[in-house]
Amino acid sequence: MKIKRVLGASVAALCLSMAGTAMADTSGKKIALSNNYAGNSWRQAMLTSWEKVTGEAVKAGTVAAADPFTTAENQATEQAAQIQNLILQGYDAIVVNAASPTALNGAVKEACDAGITVVSFDGIVTEPCAWRIAVDFKEMGRSQLEYLAKKIPAGGNLLEVRGLAGVFVDDEISAGIHAGVAQYPQFKIAGSVHGDWAQDVAQKAVAGILPSLPEITAVVTQGGDGYGAAQAFDAAKRPMPTIVMGNREDELQWWKQQKDANGYETMSVSIAPGVSTLAFWVAQQVLDGKEVKKDLVVPFLRIDQDNLEANIATTQKGGVANVEYSLEDAQKVIAGAK
């Protein structure tokens, strides 16, 4: 329960006694975002969502600051140094999208030891003192094979387009995809490349491996790579496989064009970039004295053939299908985890 500053001390004390537990006032608290990478549309949408929601929170006086910081390179050592700088700058909480689940643990522990709340999301950390917000990335990968098994019962050769090498999210989604192949052995991974969750990188990587591959039935992906893969197949004049998309606006538009032209069918799945705003509110709630479980799981955002157009209508040009979280949304997620 929050007490307005205009109340007298005795009234405030009475109200807090009635509430049972005194909660901290976060209006003077500073929260920082430590982000390891901004080189694709998902990360840009994530930062835009952060600035939009946290900007409103700062304006409303909920917190004093919510400053985003992004490292120049996707290097854990650089991000660890960034976190150490944020500790010295006196932030009360640090929200982290981590370059590595383990390599930042030392810096995260330093922050915790300094009394700073650390909330990781998307790219989470394993340091026990930190909070973690993630989707079930393994299930996100496995669900692609489940979809393909229903669409293409006979199976076939797959091309796997992975994300950023060495990052937790890439490892987890890939593990889910391989678990799906084990579950549906009519499919075989014929080749694998890293697309870095970026269309241009994925297009070059797929173009480079295609000459060595047999006919590809489907492309399993991680997000930000589907349209690039499609462009590579088109340029190589190879039969267009079923390409799982990753909720990017250019992917959805290409899918709709193909759907209208020839009935092309696929699905699209990704974590919503607005998960950064959930991490912000979780940090604010921890600073406000609320009890929050260390591990929170949110659903991934899936788009299917029948709701494609509806999702395109609400997705910004050049952006990503998204969900942003309010304080009330975060409180529901926190309550649902107890």
Per residue, what are the HEC states of 196-218?
CCCHHHHHHHHHHHHHHCCCCCE
Q: Quote the tokens at residue 5.
A: 């500053």
Token pair of 268, please?
């699209």
Closest to 170 measured CA to CA, from 140, 145, 206:
140
Query: Is pLDDT at 23 greater than 60 in this prediction?
Result: no
CATH for 28-135+272-301+318-336, options being 1.10.3720.10, 3.40.630.10, 3.40.50.2300, 3.40.50.300: 3.40.50.2300
Specify whether the CB–CB gap between 71 and 100 falls below 8 A.
no
- The pLDDT, as a whole number, for residue 290 is 96
Confidence of residue 19 (pLDDT cuts 50, 70, 90): very low
Name the band, by pLDDT with cuts 50, 70 and 90, for residue 6: very low
Beta-strand runs (E) in 36-135 = 65-70, 93-97, 117-121, 131-134
Sign of CA dihedral 37, 163, 195, 242: negative
**Residue 71 above 70 pLDDT?**
yes
Q: What is the pLDDT of residues 243-296, one digit of tens each?
A: 999 999 999 999 999 999 999 999 999 999 999 999 999 999 999 999 999 999
Domain boundaries along the sequence of the chain = 28-135+272-301+318-336, 137-270
The residue ranking higher by pLDDT, 1 or 30, is 30
| Contacting residues for 219 by C-beta, under 8 A, at least 6 apart | 158, 159, 160, 161, 206, 226, 229, 241, 242, 243, 244
Residues 6+ apart with CB under 8 A from 60: none
> Taking phi first (over 0 means left), then psi (-120 to 50 degrees means alpha), and beta for anything else, what does residue 90 get?
left
10 Å CB burial of residue 279 (0-12, 13-18, 19+) is buried
Q: Which of 222, 228, 276 is nearest to 247 (CA)?
A: 222
Architecture of domain 137-270: 3-Layer(aba) Sandwich (3.40)
Q: Identify the residue with better confidence: 297 or 24.
A: 297
Residues 6+ apart with CB under 8 A from 221: 144, 160, 161, 195, 202, 229, 243, 244, 245, 246
- Give residue-wise pLDDT tens across range 100-129: 999 999 999 999 999 999 999 999 999 999
Q: How many other C-beta atoms are found inside a 10 Å radius of the C-beta of residue 208? A: 11
Distance CA 29, CA 93 (A): 8
Give pLDDT, residue 130: 98
Cβ–Cβ contacts within 10 Å for residue 128, how many? 11
The H or E element spanning position 42 is helix 41-59
Same fold, 28-135+272-301+318-336 and 137-270: yes
Q: Is the pLDDT of residue 5 over 50?
A: no
Model confidence band, residue 24 (pLDDT cutoffs 50, 70, 90): low
Give the burial string for 198-207 (b: 16+ CB within 10 Å, else e): bbbbbbebbb
What pLDDT, on a 0 to 100 scale, did the predictor assign at position 134? 86
pLDDT digits (tens, 9 = 90+) for 115-168: 999 999 999 999 999 999 988 999 999 999 999 999 999 999 999 999 999 888
Task: Name the band, by pLDDT with cuts 50, 70 and 90, for residue 14.
Answer: very low
The full DSSP string for 219-286 is EE--SS-HHHHHHHHHHTTPPP-EE-B-SBHHHHHHHHHHHHHH-----EEE--TTHHHHHHHHHHHH
Residues of the chain with pLDDT > 90: what percent? 86
Residues 166-218 have pLDDT tens digits of 888 899 999 999 999 999 999 999 999 999 999 999 999 999 999 999 999 99
Quick one: pLDDT at residue 195?
Answer: 96
